[in-house]
Amino acid sequence: MIEGNNAMVDEHFMKAALAEAAKAQENGEVPIGAVIVREGRIIGRGSNRTETDRDPTCHAEIIAIREAAALLGGWRLLGCTLYVTLEPCSMCAGAIVLARIERLVIGTMDPKAGACGSLMNIPADGRLNHNPEIVTGVLENECRQVLKTFFRELRRK
């Protein structure tokens, strides 16, 4: 179990999300990773698997949510924080709200498809019955660089 101030804890768990992103990259996937934490422990992990599974819903966040829900034995992820290296899309943002995740910590924003502050902000929409706290910019440079390097290499090939 990890304890400390929020910034230190957030960086610790974002590093775990970056490790998940590295797993995605090793499998030829866009390097995005996510972890779900409850009471200082990781209870769900996910890395992108859309190409591997040939499934457009296999985003890192969805995989982590499924794993955490299975571990907890229910779909409400109360008291949980989701750490993700790239701002979630609209599908993942909706899942975050539906799962009742308490806190969302984002590494870098996604101006092309982000739905948690960039193009729209689904989790902050007051018309919904749940609005998680959103924190952005945790290990932002590291998260952004992983994606830049991946796409640079992809274009080079």
DSSP at 116:
B
The number of CA neighbours under 13 Å toward the Cβ of 37 is: 24
Tell me how far apart the alpha carbons of residues 85 and 70 are, in angstroms, rounded to a whole number.
22
Q: Burial of 55 by CB count in 10 Å (0-12 exposed, 13-18 middle, 19+ buried)? A: exposed
Question: How big is the chain by its Cα radius of gyration, in Å?
Answer: 14
β 103-108/33-38 pair status: unpaired
Active site residue 61: yes
| Active-site residue identified among 3, 11, 26, 61 | 61
Q: How far is CA 14 from CA 10, 75, 116, 119, 126, in A?
A: 6, 23, 17, 23, 27
User: Any idea which residues carry the catalytic annotation?
Assistant: 61
